[in-house]
A and B are shown apart, each in its own frame.
Chain A
Amino acid sequence: MSIWTRIKDFGPWSRAQKERDLEREIQNHLDLEAEESGPYGAQRAFGNAMLVKEEVRAAWGWPRLEQLARDVRYGLRQVRRNPAFSAIAIATLALGIGVNTAMFSAVDAVLIRPLPYVDADRLVMIWDEMSHIGFPKHNSTPAEWREWRRHNTVFTDIAATETGNVTLSGDGEPEQLPGRKVTANLWTVLGAQPLLGRVFTEEEDTQGVQVAVISYGLWQRRFGASPDVLGRTINLNDSPYEVIGVMPREFYFMPARDIDIWMPTSFSAERLKHFSWHDEHIVARLKPGVTLQQARESMAALSLRVTAHVKPPRAAVVTPLRDELAGKTQTSLIVLLCASAAILLISCVNLANLLLSRGAARRREVAVRAALGAGRGRLITQFLVESLVLAGLGAIAGLALAIPVMRFLETLVPETMAAVRLTLDWRVLAFSAAIAVAAGLTFGLAPALGGSRLALQEGLRDGGRGSSGARSHWFQHSLIVTETALAVVLLTSGVLLLQTFHHLQRLDLGIRGEKLLTFVTPLFRYRDFHQRVAFVNAELERIRAIPGVIRAGAISKIPLTGIAGTTRYVFAGQPANDTRTQDALSRVVTRDYFSTVGARLREGRFFDISDQLSQSPVAIVNESLADRNFPGRSPLGARLQFGHLGAEGYWYTIVGVVKEIRDRGVAEELKPAVYRVHDQADQSGDQPSGIVVRTAVEPASIVAAVRQAIWSVDENMPVTHIQTVDDIVARQLSAPLQNTTLLSAFALLALLLASLGLYGVLSYAVTQRTNEIGVRMALGATSNDILLAFGRRGLALTLAGLAIGVLLALVAARLMTTLFYGFRPDYSPAVTVVSLVLLAVAALACLVPARRASRIDPMIALQHE
């Protein structure tokens, strides 16, 4: 018979019709037979009409589905009949499933969903291995890019990109735009196409033709989405560029989602020759059939070969693009996903326990069904369907819960990737349904097997009480140990993250963050050193005149935001090839910078008015550099020279050691740093475009005045990246804060669920063993003995869970290392705190049922059925 007929036959309409037909048919038969042998004879000959009908129904086909529908209805009735139990079960499941659904949607968006490039999993990034100066994955150089591109055998092509922030001027306000300079082959490597126009060619790139491809966002915002934009000339850093293409809305590429302009790199011959401009992000596409491992080995060797003349030669590091885009978020998502999975597992364990306990209570009902002919398979199916009904309801409630969690998780998506709006799309719904089924089977299986077994053993025996046997105790106990252990893992991890966050928050930034306003005034138009000095001095002068401003200074990279920006140097008398000790962050500052940010001196002095271009050049170093190059000695008076200028280069004398300033970011590793005063830095490319202003008033209140002050000096000067140091700190701490908050919330949830589980099992045991308690008391046990007996059991389970959990937490902590931001949280207080909290909660969970047990009246207990 065709499936179609089956489906047609299966519908409830045809089903009812069939039922009526069958009823009539049997009745007719009886009538016919009665004509011959009388009504009783007919009945006897026919036998059990009910049974006949049952068998005919079995012949109708798809009885399983029918059965299933009936089991589901029965399950729903069970839910209504035990509202308290059902509410607890559904709420527990809703938490577990909701949290997991939300986590999955975030993991899906960041780690699973295809990136907007062709065959994105074949894309990798290539870095310089420069661990000797503290950068195991350093930006590469144009020279290496060219050599790799020429000689490699593992990539179809290699593209380079570097920062190219520009000021767009011309019609409208001058605007600082995030831009990238990219080699012409970037688009083919990524497999990206422009929405309008074209991208630039290799010739345009090498010949330095000034063309630009703009983002969809910029096209919409600045050019009113007009197709006429193609061919238009725009001013970027005061040079004319022709707009030749517009990228589609969904296009983005490292290092940020909001790049607005792409221009040719047009590397100079000099940059392509020396292996020393570490500005490039390199992206490459693996050749078909080449594995990541092969590419790694091949590139490491190739890179050592092409940099053989550099001291020391560098290996190349190849990483999947996805890892780079997801960054630290990858670890936090995985950790949080594990945590939420643990919560779901705990929920399941709790429910399994609850159902096991309830299964015993339903023994009579099950026995009746078994006596009426339900086979063990039928009973198991029905129990499982009941569990699945609960899981389904839990999943529905969980979806409602997932949505607010998803709103929170959206903010975890890293800057390097497209912003997402997490939604309950079909992937997420499918996942949610899958875990609901898995959960239903997980927590339903043991009770189903147990329940069906009990039914057959103890059957209808009157007063069917007894214990469910050592086996089921053992099982329930191991469930408790499991969930306790999981809760301990989560709690410990949570405490470790809390410690880390606390540490990050209290971290000495080296500057005073409050009421410190920062912004950037790009200095590209002040190429002449003297003009630049004059402009910076003039703008600072005007800013200082604003009421509410205490001090103002300038620096080449706003503190806490310049992860890179290093320079080479050599100390007088030091051989020039010891790169391990000849690389430091380089910053050019104005004289009053240190006093403005509130930096502190370890020894020597800050810059002062005597440090002019005409005077002998001086430098200030940080403690890391002093400790590295002058361990146990004072660096004051030591002289050093920067870059590759040879005899031309100034010799700077160290006049001060400043206490560590977190120039690279709150949670970033400290690096040796050298500060020079702007007036004496005419040989440095670093320009003090970052302005810091210490205010007496609320920093936000003077922003308008600051703009006016700067525009009064240069009306075309954009003022960008306006933020306070407090903002910067808050933003950098937001990821650790979110991780900590989520994991702590998960951990508390786990603790709550685990203690509920313990409470449930013990109180069930008390109910179940009321008789036994009565006997014991009648034989002379005091209520204290009983209290101890039950208390001991709970305590033993808790301790076992604690021990296993602590061991597992050690493993978990290793997985989380990157979330500690270089901090080494102390393990023992975490374990102590968690143990104490857990024992306290467990004691409470045990005490209530244990006390109940100890207060049982033996007379009543003995009669207890």
Chain B
Amino acid sequence: MTRQKNDILQGTLVLLVLKTLADGRRMHGYAITAHIQRVSADLLRVEEGSLYPALHRMAQDGWLRAEWGMTEKNRQARFYTITKAGKRQLALEEESWARLCSGVQRVLRYV
């Protein structure tokens, strides 16, 4: 099976999920995947195999809150919202992402 290399860089999934929920939205796992895929214009695709472990770990670390609810189509789903601790974590993650990017940039620009 060949697949285009669009796996999410290790460690950035947390950042993406936190950012997706950052403005207080309440989303289930599938919606989070879909959101990231759509917003990134299909450049990023979240593996379910990584998403659910990440969601559970984040819930356990207290960054997300999970609760059962109904979708617009009246389906049952587990919804995640960001917590205060999650917002603090998001700030940290954004900062370290920026550092990583600028570091990589410098290396790439170096002749």
Residues of A at the B interface (CB closer than 8 Å) are 1, 5, 9, 21-22, 24-26, 28-29, 31-33, 45-48, 51-52, 55-56, 58-61
| Mask: chain B, 72-101; 1 = CB below 8 Å from A; 0 = not | 000111100000000000000000000000
A33 x B56 contact (CB < 8 A): no
B48 x A28 contact (CB < 8 A): no
Q: Can you report 20 residue pairs joining A to B where beta carbons are below 8 Å apart? A: A9-B60, A28-B28, A28-B75, A28-B78, A29-B30, A29-B52, A31-B75, A32-B28, A32-B30, A32-B75, A32-B77, A33-B30, A45-B48, A48-B49, A51-B49, A55-B52, A58-B53, A59-B56, A59-B60, A61-B60
A25 x B47 contact (CB < 8 A): no
B56 x A60 contact (CB < 8 A): yes
A25 x B29 contact (CB < 8 A): yes
Contact of B53 among A1, A32, A47, A52 (CB under 8 A): A52
**Which residues from chain B contact A26 at a C-beta distance below 8 Å?**
52
A60 x B60 contact (CB < 8 A): yes
**Residue B42 CB within 8 A of the other chain:** no
A59 x B48 contact (CB < 8 A): no
CA–CA, A5 to B85, complex, Å? Answer: 16
| Residues 37 to 58 of chain B near chain A (Cβ within 8 Å) | 47-49, 52-54, 56-57
Residues of B at the A interface (CB closer than 8 Å) are 28-30, 47-49, 52-54, 56-57, 60-62, 68, 71, 75-78
**Which residues from chain B contact A55 at a C-beta distance below 8 Å?**
49, 52-53
Do A56 and B53 contact each other (CB < 8 Å), given the known contacts A28-B76, A28-B78, A29-B30?
Answer: yes
Do A21 and B77 contact each other (CB < 8 Å), given the known contacts A29-B29, A33-B30?
Answer: no
Question: In chain B, what residue has the closest Cβ to A58?
Answer: B53
**Which residues from chain B contact A1 at a C-beta distance below 8 Å?**
60-62
**Which residues from chain B contact A58 at a C-beta distance below 8 Å?**
53
**Which residues from chain A contact B48 at a C-beta distance below 8 Å?**
29, 45-47, 52
**Which residues from chain B contact A28 at a C-beta distance below 8 Å?**
28, 30, 75-78
Do A24 and B49 contact each other (CB < 8 Å), given the known contacts A32-B30, A33-B30?
Answer: no
**Which residues from chain A contact B57 at a C-beta distance below 8 Å?**
59
CA–CA, A32 to B60, complex, Å? Answer: 25
A24 x B53 contact (CB < 8 A): no
B52 x A24 contact (CB < 8 A): no
Minimal beta-carbon separation of B34 from chain A (angstroms): 9
Minimal beta-carbon separation of B100 from chain A (angstroms): 24
CA–CA, A45 to B71, complex, Å? Answer: 21
Of the candidates A5, A25, A55, A56, the one having the most CB atoms from chain B within 10 angstroms of its own CB is A25
Of the candidates B56, B57, B71, B75, the one having the most CB atoms from chain A within 10 angstroms of its own CB is B56
B52 x A56 contact (CB < 8 A): yes
A47 x B49 contact (CB < 8 A): yes
Question: In chain B, what residue has the closest Cβ to A48?
Answer: B49
Minimal beta-carbon separation of B40 from chain A (angstroms): 17
Of the candidates B49, B54, B75, B76, the one having the most CB atoms from chain A within 10 angstroms of its own CB is B49
**Which residues from chain A contact B76 at a C-beta distance below 8 Å?**
24, 28
A52 x B30 contact (CB < 8 A): no
Of the candidates A29, A31, A51, the one having the most CB atoms from chain B within 10 angstroms of its own CB is A29
Question: In chain A, what residue has the closest Cβ to B66?
Answer: A21
Minimal beta-carbon separation of A10 from chain B (angstroms): 11
Do A21 and B49 contact each other (CB < 8 Å), given the known contacts A32-B30, A59-B56, A60-B56?
Answer: no
B61 x A25 contact (CB < 8 A): no
CA–CA, A5 to B59, complex, Å? Answer: 12
**Which residues from chain A contact B47 at a C-beta distance below 8 Å?**
47
- Given contacts A28-B28, A29-B30, 12 further A-B pairs with CB under 8 A are A5-B60, A9-B60, A24-B78, A25-B78, A28-B75, A31-B75, A46-B48, A51-B49, A52-B48, A52-B52, A52-B53, A56-B52
A59 x B53 contact (CB < 8 A): yes
CA–CA, A27 to B61, complex, Å? Answer: 24
Among all A-B residue pairs, the 6 with the closest Cβ atoms:
A59-B57, A32-B30, A55-B53, A59-B53, A25-B78, A59-B56
Minimal beta-carbon separation of B85 from chain A (angstroms): 10
CA–CA, A555 to B25, complex, Å? Answer: 106
CA–CA, A573 to B62, complex, Å? Answer: 103
